[in-house]
Every structure is written in C-alpha cells, then in structure tokens.
Amino acid sequence: MSLRTTPKGAVQTDAHASDASRNASAQIAPHNHSTHLKVTLPALLEKKRSRTPIAALTAYDFASARVVDEGGIDLVLVGDSLAMVMLGYESTLPVTVEEMLLFTRAVRRGVRRALLVADMPFGSYHASVAEGVANAVRFLKEAGAEAVKIEGGRSRAELVRALVEAEVPVVGHIGLTPQSVHRMGGYRVQGKSLSAAEHLLEDAHALEAAGASLLVLEGMPRELAAQITAELQIPTIGIGAGPECDGQILVLHDLLGLTFAPAAKFVRRYADLGAQMRAAVQQYGEDVAARRFPNDAESYHLPSETRSQMEQHAQGSQRKKA
C-alpha cells in the first residue's frame, strides 16, 4: 500500500443487551433528553457519510458524565487515562479491569444520549483472545458499555473478529498508543517516516476488515490521518491527528484545565477550572478562619417556643448554682 497525498477534508462517502446492562441503565437519574435521539454506531457511521463531525470526550464519574452528555457530545469514553487523572498513577498501565468497571458503571448512570465506550486496560486482552473476549463481555454485561476500545493494529485483528462474533462492538486505536509507552520509548508522534506511515495505513485497513466499528487515530501527522480517514469506510476519531478526521476526542480534564502537567500540543483548554477551584478553596478557608462562614442566614434556628424554653431552663440552672 503506497502513501499518497489526500486533499484536505476528503472523506469517502462510499449488542445484545444483558439484564445487568438494563439494570444499570434503569438506575440512571432521569435527564431532560426526550427530544434528543440516542447515539448509536449506525448513527456515527451516517455522520461520516454526511461529513458531519463527531464530538467525543472522556468522562470518569456520574457528575462529569451527566454534564458531558447534556452538553450534546456524541461519544463518551471511559478512558484508561483515568489511571492518571483520577487515581494518580504515572501512566495508564497500572489500572485494573475492576477499577475500569467501577468507573464505567458510574459513567453509565450519567449517560443517556451519547454512545458509551469503555477502554480495555493493559493486560486485559494481551495474554489470549479468549481472555480478551471474556473481559470485554464484562464491560457490556456488568457496566453497561456499548463498545470497548482496544489498542494496537493488525496484531489485534484476530481479537477484533472474536469480539465482533461475541456481539461486542469494537473501537480500534492506532498511532500513539499509551499502553505501548515502553516499546515506543515515550509518548512520541507515530508514522512520521514513509515506512511507519504505510505500516499504520495497513493497520487501519486490517482493523476495519476485522470488523472494528470506529478507529481512534492518536499522535500522528495530519496528512496521514487524513489519508486513513479517506480510505476507510468506518469513522475515525482523532486526538493529535489533525482536523480531517471524522471526529475529535479530548480528555475532559485537559479541556477544563484540571491537570497538573503542561498540556500537549493538540490540547485546547476551554476553561481553567483548576485555578477557579483553587481560588474557591482558598476563599473558603479564609472565611472559616475569619468566622465569616457560616453566617446567620446559612444557619438553622430553633423555633421561638423551644428557644424560650431553653432560655428559661438556662436561667433556672443559673439560679440554682447561685
């Protein structure tokens, strides 16, 4: 397969729900989303065909998931990035299946409209295809996910086929794959040479042929992501891969300024909630120290009759002591 230049913006036009999943959905607090259609995989495919961009974000808990869902986002990913932004690990590698299931269940309760995708953590699908399928089924059955995301290219094709046969929709992920951080020698842009770019093109086609429904393209040259997007029939979701992808995704904490490290080149911060939160916490501490919080209006009061009785009782006690 040869690498060729693709015109900007060029795009080819050409689950079984378990009882546990239904129970998880039934526990979601009601949203005012009656006028919005549920986002499905076919709906995202139609967005690609109509060249309508797909908006995706991560979420890790009920509150953030509900805000993201009510904001009209199409796809919510419970990313293994929660290892860093929620649990304080230095990479995505330590997070476990049980931890990912816990957070996915919380997000499920907050999402009504968006398609919910869960990351398969490192080690949950690497030993064998059978183990990967068993773990993936848990995300749909126990946590209410509607698809799982796995990292890797053609080497994952057999797993993707097995997952699809088991009625588990798959989102692929190629390019900069954080679970391969040690092999890559750090978080480095991938596909910069001709051979590396052709390798990623072949990976993309292999995952599509195996049955993947979507493909995340991370940390690769814009021109390469544009060509992959143009050649594939399935939608591509970019992160650090340029604007020609069919959709974009960011880590919610990066978007809101809730991280403690410099932002990557591809991150656009839409708010600095970290600074606002620190200012609010500092002001609260100062108000408590100066006894400005709570004030009288923020306090509860006894009924007047009870207060009179207590005052009389206190006066009687003082007379006895005298």
Count CA within 13 A, CB hemisphere, residue 232: 34
Output the DSSP codes for 65-84: HHHHHHTT-SEEEE-TTHHH
> What is the rounded distance in angstroms from the CA atom of residue 128 to the CA atom of residue 46?
34
Of the residues 146, 151, 208, 218, only one is catalytic, namely 218
- The token duo for 207 is 């995952």
**Among the CATH numbers 3.40.190.10, 3.20.20.60, 1.10.10.10, 3.30.2130.10, which is that of 19-272?**
3.20.20.60
> What is the rounded distance in angstroms from the CA atom of residue 220 to the CA atom of residue 197?
9
Is 142 part of the annotated catalytic residue set? no
- The token duo for 145 is 């996910």
- The token duo for 281 is 């916490």
pLDDT single digits (tens) 165-218:
999 999 999 999 999 999 988 889 999 999 999 999 999 999 999 999 999 999
Domain ranges of the chain: 19-272, 277-321
Instruction: Considering only the C-alpha atoms of the chain, give the largest distance between any 2 of them, rounded to a whole number of Å.
Output: 102
Task: Indicate the DSSP class of residue 264.
Answer: P
Look-up: residue for tokens 């065909």? 49
* pTM given for the model: 0.85
> What pLDDT score does 322 carry?
65
Q: In a structure prediction context, what are the per-residue pLDDT tens digits for the chain, which is 322 residues long?
A: 444 444 333 333 333 344 444 444 444 444 554 447 999 999 999 999 999 999 999 999 999 999 999 999 999 999 999 999 999 999 999 999 999 999 999 999 999 999 999 999 999 999 999 999 999 999 999 999 999 999 999 999 999 999 999 999 999 999 999 999 999 888 899 999 999 999 999 999 999 999 999 999 999 999 999 999 999 999 999 999 999 999 999 999 999 999 988 888 999 999 999 999 999 999 999 999 999 999 999 999 999 999 999 988 888 878 777 6
> What is the rounded distance in angstroms from the CA atom of residue 242 to the CA atom of residue 24?
36
